[in-house]
Each structure stands twice: as structure tokens, then as C-alpha cells.
Amino acid sequence: MIPQLEGSQPPPSPLSGRDCLTLAEFTPEETVLILDEAIKIKTLQKSRIPYRPLRGQTLAMVFQKPSNRTRVSFEVGMYQLGGHALHISPDEIQMGKRETPSDTGNVLARYIDAIMVRTFDHQELEELASAADVPVINGLSDTHHPCQALADLLTIREEFGTLEEVKIAYVGDGNNVAHSLTIACALTGAELTIAHPEKHGPDQKIVQLAEKLGAAPTRTEDPQEAVNGARVVYTDVWASMGQEAEAEERKQKFAPYQVNSELMSLAAEDAIFLHCLPAHRGEEVTAEVIDGPRSRVFDQAENRLHAQKALLYLLLG
């Protein structure tokens, strides 16, 4: 598909009406399509060519967790595509407390054209999506972060021109970011190794799912083994939202997994560093690495906007 300029009618999307809850809803070909569209839309945006295929459409943004990049990138992205984004805070909706997720999805679908949800419980997200007859996008749940993975893939593809057989080392907690990266790599042929402390690896169900989709990640408790020869070194915070009580304990357990210059020296000569942000300098990554010449974290953050615009365009098209 090629984005049409303002005033022309875009062709119907093959993903129209679909949900994006985990990335596993898509085939390898559909995943590549999303990335292709993201590159085209990004090119138009950088060229300041108006492209507003979603005029008259509204995205409801449901937040159970606080947000910076997710809110701004979705709201700006919807605006740039000609639509409108409506922010709904936890106090306003109280999903799962004042109203069931299915009732929330059913009601919102009567008003708007798509729903983005950033929440804790992935099961509640699935319940909402099953009741809503409009596209539902996972802006983050405790189990998955598919929009982040799309931005990761876009950043890596821009850097190396391909994803096939690119060696990626993820160092740290087997959390929602690791889960979505696992699925994304399985769909695109990237070779993922996850280095994690004992009992902090990715969910085995996600690993099995990745194996069905293409390939399971290699897992190790040795960060040096994972990073050796890698072209992408990726990490995330050691304690995610909701794990604040474990923060001090995790600092001790994860200390050997810090991404520093010594660890980066084991990676390929052209290796880049990624982090989904927010970052804690001096914990999971040193300032020397994240603020150094190999870092692509702000390109990666920007690509949330372009990847999500492509997703919105394709699901609402």
C-alpha cells in the first residue's frame, strides 16, 4: 500500500478492523506491511507533505497506567493523520472497578472508531477487545508492549536495512518489552538472545508462542554470552511499574546485567544500543552508553510515533 496525498481516497487496508494486542495477531507479511507503511508515512511527515486519511475518526485513549511517550505519540499521531484523540484517565473510567472491561469496550465502541488501552491486566484488555467491534490497540499491559516492539523493529531496519538474521541481545528482565520483542523477532527473522537472572526470564508461554510463529529466543544467564557479536544491545528498567516494592532487591540481583562500555565492547563493531525509556542511568545502563554514539534511544522513541501512525492507518483504513 502507498499512502495517498491529502484529498485522494486511500485504498482499503488488508488489516482494517483488526486488533493489535500482542503482535501475534499478524503474519510475518503483515508485520512487514506495518513497517513498510511506517517508513512511507515517516517520509511524508519529514517532507511536510500533508497526509490525513483518518479525517473524521476518533481514537479513545484509555489510561490505567501513567504515560509520557504513549500518550503523546498516539495523540499527535492521530492528529497528524487528520483524526482526533480523546484522553480518558483512570479516575474517569475506572475499568474493572466501576464498570467491567466488556461494558467499557461495548460503550466506547458506540462512540468512537478505535480504542487504545494502557493498563495492568492483559486479561482485562482482552475482555474489552472481545466486546468492542472497533479496533483495539494495546498501548501497554503487564504482559505485552506491541507498539514498542514495532518501533524497535523500525529502528533496527532503518539502521541495518534488514531484520533477517540481525543478532539482537536483550539484557535484563523478561518483562512485557522482552515478550513483545520475542514475538516481533519470531515474525521477522531477527535472531534474539535474552540474558536474564535466574527466575527472571520471559514467560514460557510466550517462548512457545514465538517458536510456533517462527523461532524461540535463545536464553542464557550470561550477559557476555548474549552480547558477544550482537548488532543490537537492548535493555529496560530492572523494576517496572507495579514492582516498586522489589526495586532494592532487584538492584542487587540485576547488577551483573548492567549495560556498560565493557559489555558493549563485546558487541559487533557496528552495534547500536536501544532502550524503551524511561531509563535509570547508573542502574541498567551507564550514561556513557545511553548518551554515547552507539545509542539510538531517541530515534527509537521517535519511531513510536511513526509505527503507531502506520498501525492506526492500517487498522482504521
Q: CA 225, CA 233: separation in Å to the nearest integer? A: 12
Q: Which of 38, 13, 31, 25 is nearest to 125 (CA)?
A: 25
Q: Is the pTM of this model over 0.85?
A: yes
Q: What is the pLDDT along the chain (317 residues), one digit of tens a residue?
A: 655 555 555 678 999 999 999 999 999 999 999 999 999 999 999 999 999 999 999 999 999 988 899 999 999 999 999 999 999 998 888 777 788 999 999 999 999 999 999 999 999 999 999 999 999 999 999 999 999 999 999 999 999 999 999 999 999 999 999 999 999 999 999 999 999 999 999 999 999 999 999 999 999 999 999 999 999 999 999 987 667 778 889 999 999 999 999 999 999 999 999 999 999 999 999 999 999 999 999 999 999 999 999 999 999 99
pLDDT digits 0-9 by tens, 81-130: 999 999 999 888 877 778 899 999 999 999 999 999 999 999 999 999 99
Annotated catalytic residue within 69, 118, 200, 306: 118
In the residue annotation, 294 being an active-site residue is answered as no
* pLDDT for the residue 3: 52
**Is 276 a residue of the active site?**
yes
Tell me what pLDDT residue 92 has. Answer: 87
Instruction: For residue 87, report the phi and psi dihedrals to the nearest 5 degrees.
Output: -85, 130
Catalytic member of 144, 157, 275, 304: 304
CA pair distance 132, 63, nearest whole angstrom: 17
- The catalytic position among 236, 258, 306, 308 is 236
SS3 category, 315: helix
Helix H or strand E encompassing 192? strand 191-195
**Could you give the angle at which helices 176-188 and 28-46 cross, rounded to 10 degrees?**
100
Percent of the chain surpassing pLDDT 90: 88
The pLDDT of residue 97? 78
148: annotated active-site residue: yes
First-to-last alpha carbon distance for the chain, in angstroms, is 11
> What structural domains does the chain harbor?
28-145+304-316 (3.40.50.1370), 148-300 (3.40.50.1370)
Q: Any residues with CB less than 8 A from the CB of 301 and at least 6 apart, and which? A: 69, 151, 277
Q: Backbone phi, then psi, for 59, in 5-degree steps?
A: -105, 125
CA distance 86 to 233: 36
200/16 Cα distance (integer angstroms)? 37
Q: Is 145 a catalytic residue?
A: yes
User: Which residue is listed with cell 477487545?
Assistant: 129
Spot the catalytic one: 57, 64, 80, 148.
148
pLDDT of 2 reads: 52
Among candidate residues 276, 300, 306, 308, the one labeled active-site is 276
Please tell me which residue in 69, 122, 144, 145 is annotated as part of the active site. Answer: 145
Classify residue 141 as exposed, middle or buried by CB count within 10 Å of its CB (0-12, 13-18, 19+). buried
